[in-house]
Amino acid sequence: MNSCLYECSVMHHRFTPKEHHFEHAIFMFYLDLDELDQAARSVFLFSHNRRNLYSFRDSDHEPAGPHPLKQRVLAYLRQEGVPCRPDTRIMLLTLPRMAGYIFNPISIYYCFAGDGQPFAAVAEVGNTFREIKLYLLRPETLGTNGTFNLVIPKHFYVSPFSSLKLNFDFRLAIPGAKLDIRIDDHDDIKPVLISTLTGCRAELTNRNLAWFTLKYPFITLKVIGLIHWHALKLWLKKIPFYRKTENLALQQDVLRPHPSLTAKIK
Protein backbone atom coordinates (compact mmCIF):
# COMPACT_ATOMS: atom_id res chain seq x y z
CA MET A 1 0.00 0.00 0.00
CA ASN A 2 1.01 3.61 -0.54
CA SER A 3 -0.77 4.53 2.69
CA CYS A 4 1.38 4.74 5.81
CA LEU A 5 1.80 6.36 9.22
CA TYR A 6 4.16 9.10 10.36
CA GLU A 7 5.48 9.37 13.89
CA CYS A 8 5.79 13.12 14.29
CA SER A 9 7.08 15.98 16.37
CA VAL A 10 5.01 19.17 16.41
CA MET A 11 6.91 22.36 17.25
CA HIS A 12 5.58 25.89 17.72
CA HIS A 13 7.77 28.87 18.51
CA ARG A 14 6.13 32.26 19.02
CA PHE A 15 8.40 35.31 18.91
CA THR A 16 6.12 38.25 19.64
CA PRO A 17 4.79 39.91 21.69
CA LYS A 18 6.26 37.35 24.11
CA GLU A 19 8.11 34.14 23.42
CA HIS A 20 6.36 30.83 23.80
CA HIS A 21 7.74 27.47 22.72
CA PHE A 22 6.55 23.90 22.81
CA GLU A 23 7.17 20.51 21.21
CA HIS A 24 4.90 17.47 21.39
CA ALA A 25 4.97 13.99 19.87
CA ILE A 26 2.00 12.69 17.87
CA PHE A 27 1.37 10.40 14.91
CA MET A 28 -0.58 10.96 11.70
CA PHE A 29 -2.00 8.93 8.83
CA TYR A 30 -0.88 9.44 5.22
CA LEU A 31 -3.67 7.89 3.19
CA ASP A 32 -4.02 7.14 -0.50
CA LEU A 33 -7.63 8.10 -1.26
CA ASP A 34 -7.80 5.16 -3.70
CA GLU A 35 -6.79 2.73 -0.96
CA LEU A 36 -9.19 3.60 1.84
CA ASP A 37 -11.26 0.43 1.51
CA GLN A 38 -8.15 -1.70 1.04
CA ALA A 39 -6.60 -0.20 4.17
CA ALA A 40 -9.82 -0.87 6.08
CA ARG A 41 -9.71 -4.54 5.05
CA SER A 42 -6.04 -4.89 6.00
CA VAL A 43 -5.96 -3.00 9.33
CA PHE A 44 -8.52 -4.15 11.87
CA LEU A 45 -8.44 -0.93 13.93
CA PHE A 46 -9.16 1.26 10.87
CA SER A 47 -12.39 1.67 8.89
CA HIS A 48 -13.66 3.80 6.00
CA ASN A 49 -17.04 5.48 6.56
CA ARG A 50 -17.79 3.00 9.35
CA ARG A 51 -17.31 2.99 13.11
CA ASN A 52 -14.03 1.72 14.49
CA LEU A 53 -11.31 2.85 16.85
CA TYR A 54 -9.94 4.85 13.87
CA SER A 55 -12.53 5.82 11.29
CA PHE A 56 -11.89 7.87 8.16
CA ARG A 57 -15.08 9.56 6.98
CA ASP A 58 -15.22 11.38 3.66
CA SER A 59 -17.74 13.81 5.15
CA ASP A 60 -15.19 15.08 7.69
CA HIS A 61 -13.20 16.77 4.93
CA GLU A 62 -13.60 19.52 2.35
CA PRO A 63 -14.50 20.14 -0.41
CA ALA A 64 -17.99 19.06 0.66
CA GLY A 65 -20.38 17.13 -1.55
CA PRO A 66 -22.20 13.84 -2.05
CA HIS A 67 -19.40 12.14 -4.00
CA PRO A 68 -16.36 10.27 -2.67
CA LEU A 69 -13.64 12.56 -1.37
CA LYS A 70 -11.19 11.99 -4.22
CA GLN A 71 -13.79 13.03 -6.80
CA ARG A 72 -14.51 16.18 -4.80
CA VAL A 73 -10.83 17.12 -4.61
CA LEU A 74 -10.39 16.57 -8.35
CA ALA A 75 -13.46 18.73 -9.04
CA TYR A 76 -12.06 21.46 -6.78
CA LEU A 77 -8.71 21.45 -8.58
CA ARG A 78 -10.37 21.71 -11.99
CA GLN A 79 -12.65 24.48 -10.71
CA GLU A 80 -9.54 26.37 -9.62
CA GLY A 81 -7.95 25.94 -13.05
CA VAL A 82 -5.53 23.15 -12.13
CA PRO A 83 -5.73 20.46 -14.84
CA CYS A 84 -5.73 16.89 -13.58
CA ARG A 85 -6.43 13.48 -15.07
CA PRO A 86 -8.64 10.70 -13.69
CA ASP A 87 -5.47 8.69 -12.89
CA THR A 88 -4.31 11.42 -10.49
CA ARG A 89 -3.24 9.94 -7.15
CA ILE A 90 -4.19 11.93 -4.05
CA MET A 91 -2.54 11.34 -0.69
CA LEU A 92 -3.97 12.91 2.45
CA LEU A 93 -1.94 13.62 5.60
CA THR A 94 -4.48 13.76 8.40
CA LEU A 95 -5.95 12.31 11.56
CA PRO A 96 -9.10 10.20 11.22
CA ARG A 97 -11.73 9.97 13.92
CA MET A 98 -10.41 8.30 17.05
CA ALA A 99 -13.17 6.65 19.10
CA GLY A 100 -15.61 8.83 17.12
CA TYR A 101 -13.88 12.15 17.86
CA ILE A 102 -12.07 14.19 15.22
CA PHE A 103 -10.03 17.36 15.30
CA ASN A 104 -7.47 18.37 12.68
CA PRO A 105 -5.58 21.68 12.89
CA ILE A 106 -4.07 20.80 9.52
CA SER A 107 -4.66 18.16 6.87
CA ILE A 108 -2.77 18.24 3.58
CA TYR A 109 -3.70 16.77 0.20
CA TYR A 110 -0.72 15.96 -2.02
CA CYS A 111 -1.67 15.46 -5.68
CA PHE A 112 0.41 13.32 -8.04
CA ALA A 113 0.12 12.82 -11.79
CA GLY A 114 -0.17 9.33 -13.24
CA ASP A 115 3.63 9.15 -13.62
CA GLY A 116 4.09 9.85 -9.90
CA GLN A 117 5.16 13.47 -10.25
CA PRO A 118 3.62 15.89 -7.69
CA PHE A 119 1.77 18.84 -9.18
CA ALA A 120 -0.35 20.44 -6.46
CA ALA A 121 -1.12 20.45 -2.76
CA VAL A 122 -4.12 21.63 -0.76
CA ALA A 123 -3.80 22.59 2.90
CA GLU A 124 -7.04 22.09 4.81
CA VAL A 125 -6.71 24.26 7.93
CA GLY A 126 -9.20 23.89 10.77
CA ASN A 127 -9.92 25.85 13.94
CA THR A 128 -11.62 25.07 17.24
CA PHE A 129 -14.87 26.56 15.92
CA ARG A 130 -14.95 23.61 13.47
CA GLU A 131 -14.45 25.97 10.54
CA ILE A 132 -12.24 24.97 7.63
CA LYS A 133 -10.34 26.93 5.00
CA LEU A 134 -8.59 25.50 1.95
CA TYR A 135 -5.29 26.90 0.66
CA LEU A 136 -4.31 25.76 -2.82
CA LEU A 137 -0.64 25.40 -3.70
CA ARG A 138 -0.58 25.38 -7.50
CA PRO A 139 1.95 23.64 -9.76
CA GLU A 140 4.05 26.80 -10.04
CA THR A 141 4.62 26.80 -6.26
CA LEU A 142 6.55 23.51 -6.44
CA GLY A 143 10.29 24.11 -6.23
CA THR A 144 13.03 21.98 -7.72
CA ASN A 145 13.75 20.70 -4.21
CA GLY A 146 10.37 18.96 -4.06
CA THR A 147 8.78 21.47 -1.69
CA PHE A 148 5.64 23.50 -2.28
CA ASN A 149 6.15 27.14 -1.22
CA LEU A 150 3.39 29.72 -0.87
CA VAL A 151 3.00 32.98 1.02
CA ILE A 152 -0.64 34.05 1.23
CA PRO A 153 -2.81 36.25 3.45
CA LYS A 154 -4.23 34.12 6.25
CA HIS A 155 -7.82 35.48 6.10
CA PHE A 156 -8.86 32.87 8.65
CA TYR A 157 -9.40 32.90 12.40
CA VAL A 158 -7.04 30.20 13.58
CA SER A 159 -6.16 31.30 17.11
CA PRO A 160 -7.46 34.03 19.43
CA PHE A 161 -3.82 34.91 20.08
CA SER A 162 -2.92 35.56 16.43
CA SER A 163 -3.91 38.61 14.44
CA LEU A 164 -5.84 38.11 11.23
CA LYS A 165 -3.53 40.66 9.60
CA LEU A 166 -0.83 38.06 9.02
CA ASN A 167 0.35 35.87 6.18
CA PHE A 168 0.77 32.12 6.10
CA ASP A 169 4.11 30.94 4.74
CA PHE A 170 3.62 27.33 3.61
CA ARG A 171 6.64 25.08 3.00
CA LEU A 172 5.34 21.60 2.33
CA ALA A 173 7.90 18.99 1.35
CA ILE A 174 6.66 15.89 -0.46
CA PRO A 175 6.44 13.15 2.21
CA GLY A 176 8.82 10.25 1.81
CA ALA A 177 10.93 8.44 4.37
CA LYS A 178 10.76 11.71 6.32
CA LEU A 179 8.03 14.26 6.89
CA ASP A 180 9.05 17.93 6.75
CA ILE A 181 6.35 20.59 6.93
CA ARG A 182 6.67 24.19 8.01
CA ILE A 183 3.88 26.76 8.21
CA ASP A 184 4.83 30.16 9.60
CA ASP A 185 2.83 33.24 10.47
CA HIS A 186 4.55 36.49 9.55
CA ASP A 187 3.70 40.15 9.21
CA ASP A 188 5.52 40.91 5.91
CA ILE A 189 8.67 41.82 7.84
CA LYS A 190 9.49 39.02 10.27
CA PRO A 191 8.12 35.71 11.52
CA VAL A 192 5.60 35.94 14.35
CA LEU A 193 5.15 32.19 14.80
CA ILE A 194 7.07 29.21 13.40
CA SER A 195 5.26 25.86 13.22
CA THR A 196 6.87 22.63 12.06
CA LEU A 197 5.67 19.07 11.67
CA THR A 198 8.49 16.59 11.18
CA GLY A 199 8.55 12.83 11.39
CA CYS A 200 9.54 9.39 10.16
CA ARG A 201 7.52 7.00 8.02
CA ALA A 202 6.12 3.74 9.38
CA GLU A 203 4.11 1.11 7.54
CA LEU A 204 0.36 1.12 8.10
CA THR A 205 0.07 -2.29 9.72
CA ASN A 206 -1.95 -3.77 12.55
CA ARG A 207 1.17 -3.97 14.69
CA ASN A 208 2.30 -0.38 14.11
CA LEU A 209 -1.14 1.11 14.59
CA ALA A 210 -1.68 -0.88 17.80
CA TRP A 211 1.74 0.29 19.07
CA PHE A 212 1.06 3.94 18.24
CA THR A 213 -2.34 3.66 19.92
CA LEU A 214 -0.63 2.58 23.14
CA LYS A 215 2.15 5.14 22.75
CA TYR A 216 -0.15 8.05 21.83
CA PRO A 217 -3.56 7.22 23.34
CA PHE A 218 -6.63 9.22 22.34
CA ILE A 219 -4.59 11.20 19.82
CA THR A 220 -7.35 13.56 18.62
CA LEU A 221 -8.32 14.38 22.22
CA LYS A 222 -4.64 14.94 22.98
CA VAL A 223 -4.37 17.46 20.13
CA ILE A 224 -7.41 19.52 21.17
CA GLY A 225 -6.40 19.29 24.82
CA LEU A 226 -2.90 20.61 24.11
CA ILE A 227 -4.34 23.48 22.10
CA HIS A 228 -6.42 24.62 25.06
CA TRP A 229 -3.56 24.02 27.50
CA HIS A 230 -1.23 26.29 25.56
CA ALA A 231 -4.02 28.83 25.06
CA LEU A 232 -4.24 29.05 28.86
CA LYS A 233 -0.48 29.58 29.05
CA LEU A 234 -0.66 32.36 26.44
CA TRP A 235 -3.52 33.99 28.32
CA LEU A 236 -1.51 33.89 31.57
CA LYS A 237 1.37 35.54 29.68
CA LYS A 238 -1.11 38.31 28.75
CA ILE A 239 -0.71 37.80 25.02
CA PRO A 240 -3.23 40.06 23.18
CA PHE A 241 -6.55 38.33 22.61
CA TYR A 242 -8.48 38.74 19.35
CA ARG A 243 -12.20 37.94 19.39
CA LYS A 244 -13.68 36.00 16.51
CA THR A 245 -16.26 38.70 15.84
CA GLU A 246 -13.51 41.26 15.14
CA ASN A 247 -12.28 41.92 11.59
CA LEU A 248 -14.95 39.90 9.85
CA ALA A 249 -13.75 41.26 6.50
CA LEU A 250 -10.50 39.34 7.04
CA GLN A 251 -12.31 36.01 7.48
CA GLN A 252 -12.79 35.00 3.85
CA ASP A 253 -13.78 31.81 2.01
CA VAL A 254 -14.49 30.06 5.29
CA LEU A 255 -16.14 26.66 4.97
CA ARG A 256 -18.57 25.36 7.59
CA PRO A 257 -18.78 28.87 9.11
CA HIS A 258 -19.61 29.14 12.79
CA PRO A 259 -23.01 30.78 13.57
CA SER A 260 -21.23 33.74 15.17
CA LEU A 261 -19.63 34.51 11.79
CA THR A 262 -22.75 34.04 9.65
CA ALA A 263 -24.91 36.05 12.09
CA LYS A 264 -22.54 39.01 11.96
CA ILE A 265 -22.30 38.88 8.17
CA LYS A 266 -26.09 39.02 7.92
Name the helix (H) or strand (E) containing 134.
strand 132-137
Q: Please name the residues in contact with 41: beta carbons below 8 A apart, sequence gap of 6 or more.
A: none
Whole-angstrom Cα distance, residue 243 to residue 197?
A: 27
Whole-angstrom Cα distance, residue 209 to residue 228?
A: 26
Contact 8, 26 (CB under 8 A): yes
Burial grade of 19 (CB within 10 A; 0-12, 13-18, 19 or more):
exposed
Give me the pLDDT at residue 19, please.
92
Give me the pLDDT at residue 124, please.
98
For residue 118, cis peptide bond before it (omega within 30 degrees of 0): no
Helix (H, G, I), strand (E, B) or coil at 18: coil
Contact 254, 131 (CB under 8 A): yes
Contact 204, 4 (CB under 8 A): yes
Give me the pLDDT at residue 263, please.
61
Give the range of the structural domain holding residue 78, as residue numbers without chain letter.
Answer: 4-265
For the chain, what is the domain count? 1
Going residue by residue through the chain, which has 266 residues, state the pLDDT in tens, using 9 for 90 and above.
899 999 999 999 999 888 999 999 999 999 999 999 999 999 999 999 999 999 999 999 999 999 999 999 999 999 999 998 889 999 999 999 999 999 999 999 999 998 899 999 999 999 999 999 999 999 999 998 899 999 999 999 999 999 899 999 999 999 999 999 999 999 878 889 999 999 999 999 999 999 999 999 999 999 999 999 999 999 999 999 999 888 888 999 999 998 877 765 54
Give me the pLDDT at residue 264, please.
59
Q: Please name the residues in contact with 166: beta carbons below 8 A apart, sequence gap of 6 or more.
A: 153, 154, 185, 186, 187, 192
